[in-house]
Amino acid sequence: MPEIIELNQKGHIPSWSKTIALVESDKLPFVSMAPKRARPSQVTHNWQMKHYKTISHSGWRDNTDVQNFTGNPRVEVTGVVQKFLDAPAVSDFAEEATVAGASRGEMAEQVADSFVAIKRAQERRFLSVYDCLRDNQADQGNETRGAFSWASPTAQTLYPVPDGYRPPAAQQYSGALNAFSERTHFLPAMRSSYKQRKGQSDLTGFLGIDLKAKFTDFGRYDDQTGTQVPIRFFQQDGDSREYVNVIDRLVLDTGVVKLVPSSHLYCNKTGDPQETDYTHRSGVFLDMDAVGIAFTRGVAYKPLENKGGGPRGIVDCIAMLQVDNPLPIVSVVSNSDN
């Protein structure tokens, strides 16, 4: 018999790396950054908004009694909580199989993925354009209002934001991305937001990556009528050998604006992918002190009965996006480059 060589050797045990490669990012900036609010005790959750009242600054005449009295009314706002759910399951044999890279077992791997899926669904809903909806016991569940719906200058259909508390039309840009201008659109929108707040405040912009790149261009070009002039300068430490081309923070007359890229803006409810033509071109600028996520029930895993076919369970939560007062919100809604 000839000697054994690897090429015709039998009984090889397959070699598998313990790596399971995942190219998609699990970074969810809005869900991570948004403050967590008090627990809603009902499906509809209510809060109040008001303005400071304006009174005359004329002088009061001596020896004059008060004839007219004033008050400062409030308005009520209603939000809706929503259930987010995923139901992982594996077969009995699949759970007992040894899988490279899944040392905890197949079901544990699937449950961990479900936690990420739930949080991504939250990010996409909270940064969506969808309005709130109520369960109709037929084909519709409860749904919470997304940030782009809160940003709407026009009244929503269900539980609309009262007049005088919706962002003015000047705070929403809805044209082509390439036409979006710092001088003509962004800065005037920020000044409008300042006028609603009657002062400076910090805003955080959650931006699609193509819109984010437009702000980086603002740092290199100065808008002029009908053209862009590269008059701004760029400084770099020659010893670093790095080319830095990014703007993440704007200090303006109206306040500080932080720019955060997100891949989960303005998405469809269903489908794969759920991204739309708006996803990477749009953005919403929020006062993070005036928004929050209110959890009726936090994200948790609940195992269900194994009836012999294998382990199964539910990962779910009940939560809503609460916007205390949408008046200062600035938004960019764009679905095309040109």
Q: Which domain holds residue 169?
A: 26-46+75-332
pLDDT digits (tens, 9 = 90+) for 8-46: 767 666 656 565 555 455 678 999 999 999 999 999 999
In a domain, 273, yes or no: yes
In a domain, 52, yes or no: no
In a domain, 15, yes or no: no
Number of domains comprising the chain = 1
In a domain, 60, yes or no: no
In a domain, 7, yes or no: no
In a domain, 199, yes or no: yes
pTM, entire model:
0.87
Nearest CA to 284 out of 195, 173, 196 is that of: 173
CA–CA distance, 67 with 75 (Å, rounded to integer): 26
Instruction: Please list the residues that pair with 312 across neighbouring strands.
Output: 89
In a domain, 1, yes or no: no
pLDDT at 105: 81
> Taking the mean position of all CA atoms in its chain, how far away is CA 148?
9
Instruction: Please list the residues that pair with 77 across neighbouring strands.
Output: 47
Per-residue pLDDT of the chain (338 residues; tens, 9 = 90+): 677 655 776 766 665 656 555 545 567 899 999 999 999 999 999 999 999 999 899 999 999 999 999 999 999 999 999 999 999 999 988 887 777 766 778 888 899 999 999 999 999 999 999 999 999 999 999 999 999 999 999 999 999 999 999 999 999 999 999 999 999 999 999 999 999 999 998 999 999 999 999 998 886 666 655 555 555 555 666 676 677 778 889 999 999 999 999 999 999 999 988 999 999 999 999 999 999 999 999 999 999 999 999 999 999 999 999 999 999 999 999 999 99
